[in-house]
């Protein structure tokens, strides 16, 4: 059974909706982005329902376990030591303090506990402590995720032995626009870390940021790159830039909300089995915009008042919005 193409407002690829492919071309992804908005959401919602309960949202909590002092020059990041943003460098948190935060996250309804450290790459001595955190969080019955920067193959294997479920390492943007945002590591460095993580048997969390001054072609390129990985990321965070004073992207133009929703929808269609997460930027989104993102196939959010160093909607606001929309946390 074949289906209609994206050009006439239905489904792309000449196959059943939600078929998992790893050969997406930029032209095919571009066709999704240029669909009339109702047709795009119809396709995204149909694909979403083929793999997920459309009323369930996976809830995660993110904790900064080592804040500030990063030597990288990511133009969006207030934790870079290269920018004066008021974020000071701190030491790696104590294990007991991390586990206390994990218990609170679980009590608030989180299913996954994510830990982020502002490193270019972790030192082996720091990895010992992080592995202890992973073991402790898993013992609480939570899924575990960390983002620590670049990894070696051996480090990825150590994290797997500690029981790590997910590793976050975003591509951020298209290969062509990447050099405008980061110069201290290459796109290939990021792809190499993803390969080490995947080879170690750890699930991949990988997405990007929109609203950094990139073009529509760059958003298309980012989704096409993610959807062409040998295995799709199990989690795909779509972040909206949070502009922080002191970073090079402070004062950047504001992204059209519909362009953000289109990016979410394209991610859902191109990676039908992945959890598509609304990540940074939700504090600046109206409830109606978030509702459109859920209709476009987003089915994961971060609970809690802060994402590393930037604001996030309070858990009460999220619960109220989910109640109003008839959504419930994923079990």
Q: Which residue has the tokens 């009590």?
A: 107
Known catalytic membership, residue 277? yes
Q: How many CA atoms lie within 13 A of 277 on its CB side?
A: 27
Catalytic residue among 111, 112, 145, 185: 145
Q: Is residue 145 flagged as an active site residue?
A: yes
Residues 6+ away with beta carbon under 8 Å from 312: 280, 282, 283, 302, 303, 304, 305, 306
Q: Tell me the C-alpha distance between 166 and 169, whole Å.
A: 10
Say which of 205, 262, 268, 282 is annotated catalytic.
205
Q: Which residue of the set 70, 190, 262, 268 is catalytic?
A: 70
Catalytic residue among 198, 277, 282, 293: 277
Active-site position among 114, 158, 190, 198: 114
Could you confirm whether 131 is annotated as catalytic? no
d(CA 197, CA 204): 7
Place of tokens 């790459």: 121
* Closest by CA position to 89, among listed 112, 117, 108: 117
Short-list 205, 189, 117, 126, CA closest to 158? 126
Q: Which tokens belong to 251?
A: 């004062």
CA distance 157 to 282: 34
Q: Which of 309, 315, 321 is nearest to 69 (CA)?
A: 309
Name the phi and psi angles at 98, rounded to 5.
Answer: -65, -45
Residue 115, SS3 per DSSP: strand
Q: 172 near 181, Cβ under 8 Å?
A: yes
Query: Active-site residues: which are they?
Result: 70, 74, 77, 114, 145, 205, 277
């Amino acid at each position: 059974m074949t289906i209609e193409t994206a050009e006439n407002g239905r489904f792309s690829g000449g196959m059943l909706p939600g078929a998992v492919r790893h050969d997406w071309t930029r032209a095919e992804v571009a066709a999704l982005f240029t669909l009339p908005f109702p047709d795009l959401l119809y396709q995204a919602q149909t694909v979403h329902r083929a793999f997920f309960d459309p009323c369930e949202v996976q809830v995660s909590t993110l904790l900064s376990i080592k804040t500030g002092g990063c030597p990288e020059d990511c133009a969006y990041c207030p934790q870079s030591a290269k920018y004066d943003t008021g974020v000071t460098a701190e030491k790696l948190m104590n294990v007991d303090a991390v586990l206390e935060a994990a218990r609170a996250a679980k009590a608030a309804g989180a299913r996954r506990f994510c830990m982020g450290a502002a490193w270019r790459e972790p030192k082996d001595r720091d990895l010992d402590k992080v592995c202890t955190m992973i073991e402790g969080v898993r013992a609480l019955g939570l899924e575990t995720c960390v983002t620590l920067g670049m990894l070696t193959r051996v480090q990825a294997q150590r994290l797997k032995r500690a029981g790590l479920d997910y590793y976050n390492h975003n591509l951020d943007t298209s290969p062509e626009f990447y050099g405008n945002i980061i110069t201290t590591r290459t796109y290939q460095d990021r792809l190499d870390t993803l390969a080490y993580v995947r080879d170690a048997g750890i699930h991949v969390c990988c997405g990007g940021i929109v609203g950094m001054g990139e073009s529509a072609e760059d958003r298309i390129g980012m989704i096409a790159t993610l959807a062409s990985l040998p295995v799709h990321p199990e989690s795909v965070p779509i972040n909206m830039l949070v502009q922080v004073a002191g970073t090079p992207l402070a004062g950047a133009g504001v992204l059209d909300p519909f362009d953000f929703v289109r990016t979410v929808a394209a991610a859902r269609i191109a990676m039908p089995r992945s959890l598509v997460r609304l990540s940074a930027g939700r504090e600046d989104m109206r409830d109606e915009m978030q509702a459109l993102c859920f209709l476009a196939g987003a089915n994961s959010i971060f609970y809690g008042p802060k994402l590393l160093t930037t604001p996030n909607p309070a858990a009460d606001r999220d619960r109220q919005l989910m109640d109003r929309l008839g959504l419930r946390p994923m079990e």
